[in-house]
């Protein structure tokens, strides 16, 4: 037992890294909050917090699904395309009412998830390749369905995007609710445990008789459904369907949030609280730089630094 206790020497450095990996993302969020309260004018206002939260909500929702996929040692590059698809389909079917439109969106999203899952679990294609195909193809389909931006005039959809309960926007409530739900699924359900076991050691999971294929397919379906929810909410907020640019680079934001939040890319562990904090961290970082009139390119550089820091902290645990 003792031999396996710690591999890295010296001890202090290993401990510091471990701490950084566990709590670094929360410390980062706290630090950015403190710095902004100190130096950014009008930062400490309900209005600003609401804006930030509404902006980050779709990223959080996509990142939740991404965290599950990454937990199985996979990745899903098609989430942005699914958002665009959701936007197109919403625009096309909104005439039948919001609920029917959402159902059709769900069918489309589930189809993409099934395709991803089948390619990964049944055909044995590497996740990055399988979902790359759907990433390209999915946006193509979205643009075929709706070739350009279209304004949407639907009061129900508008209220979904900008309504609130006791001053808390629906978007935030939905993101928070989904985060709790996904965290519950990971911790307390058979599916959650099986997902982690498959991510940690696929051969062992297989020999233990776990329904490996079913779980993998379901994970990709859930990820696509969550991306579709994000797509609908973003569309509702814009009050316009924009399949050309909606969800562009969303896969990278989501992966960043997951990794920065302490979920290793090697699978077997999913940190939902960390993922939410990771998304918030990136959001605050971007907001900080923008508010201080730094060019957008700086945001990307800052994101890169955060990613490198997260990967560095995860180094000790990631390798096996």
Residues contributing to the site for another protein (CB under 8 A) = 1-6, 9-10, 188-191, 193-194, 196-197, 200-201, 203-211, 268-269, 320
Residue 58 vs 74, nearer CB to another protein = 74
Calpha distance 128→150 (Å, rounded): 32
- Residue with structure tokens 């907001």? 287
Residue 197 vs 227, nearer CB to another protein = 197
Closest distance of CB 308 from another protein, Å? 24
> Is the Cβ–Cβ distance between 73 and 229 less than 8 Å?
no
Residue 188 vs 292, nearer CB to another protein = 188
Closest distance of CB 175 from another protein, Å? 23
Closest distance of CB 182 from another protein, Å? 14
Closest distance of CB 187 from another protein, Å? 9
Q: What is the dihedral of CA 286, 291, 294, 300, to 10 degrees?
A: 0
> Is the Cβ–Cβ distance between 161 and 236 less than 8 Å?
yes
Closest CA to 276 of 3, 25, 17, 18: 25
Residue 291 vs 317, nearer CB to another protein = 317
Residue 30 vs 208, nearer CB to another protein = 208
Q: For 176, what's the count of Cα atoms within 13 Å in the CB-facing half-sphere?
A: 8
Closest distance of CB 192 from another protein, Å? 8
Residue 164 vs 200, nearer CB to another protein = 200
- Residue with structure tokens 């009412």? 97
How many beta carbons lie within 10 A of that of residue 41, not counting itself?
A: 8
Q: For 139, what's the count of Cα atoms within 13 Å in the CB-facing half-sphere?
A: 20
Closest distance of CB 287 from another protein, Å? 35
Calpha distance 115→174 (Å, rounded): 26
Burial class (CB in 10 A: 0-12, 13-18, 19+), 33: middle
Residue 99 vs 207, nearer CB to another protein = 207
- Angle among Cα 81, 87, 90 to the nearest 5 degrees reads 135
Output phi, psi for 40, to 5 deg: -95, 120
């Amino acid at each position: 037992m003792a031999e396996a206790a710690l591999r890295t020497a010296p001890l202090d450095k290993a401990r510091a890294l471990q701490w950084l990996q566990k709590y670094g993302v929360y410390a980062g969020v706290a630090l950015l909050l403190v710095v902004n309260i100190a130096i950014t004018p009008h930062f400490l206002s309900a209005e600003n917090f609401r804006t930030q939260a509404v902006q980050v909500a779709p990223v959080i929702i996509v990142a939740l699904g991404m965290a599950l996929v990454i937990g199985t040692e996979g990745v899903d590059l098609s989430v942005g395309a699914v958002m665009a698809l959701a936007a197109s389909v919403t625009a096309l079917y909104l005439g039948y009412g919001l609920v029917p439109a959402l159902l059709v969106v769900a069918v489309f999203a589930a189809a993409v998830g099934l395709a991803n899952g089948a390619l990964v679990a049944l055909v044995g294609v590497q996740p990055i390749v399988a979902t790359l195909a759907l990433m390209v193809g999915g946006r193509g389909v979205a643009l075929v369905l709706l070739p350009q931006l279209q304004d949407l005039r639907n009061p129900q959809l508008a209220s979904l995007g900008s309504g609130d309960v006791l001053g808390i926007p629906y978007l935030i409530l939905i993101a928070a609710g989904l985060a709790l739900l996904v965290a519950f699924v990971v911790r307390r359900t058979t599916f959650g445990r099986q997902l982690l076991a498959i991510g940690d050691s696929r051969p062992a999971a297989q020999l233990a008789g776990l329904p490996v294929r079913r779980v993998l397919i379901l994970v990709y379906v859930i990820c696509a459904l969550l991306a579709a929810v994000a797509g609908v909410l973003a569309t509702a907020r814009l009050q316009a369907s924009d399949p050309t640019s909606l969800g562009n680079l969303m896969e990278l934001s989501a992966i960043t949030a997951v990794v920065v939040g302490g979920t290793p890319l090697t699978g077997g562990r999913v940190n939902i609280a960390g993922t939410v904090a990771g998304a918030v961290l990136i959001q605050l970082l971007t907001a900080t730089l923008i508010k201080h009139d730094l060019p957008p390119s700086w945001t990307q550089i800052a994101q890169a630094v955060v990613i490198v820091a997260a990967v560095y902290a995860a180094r000790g645990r990631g390798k096996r």
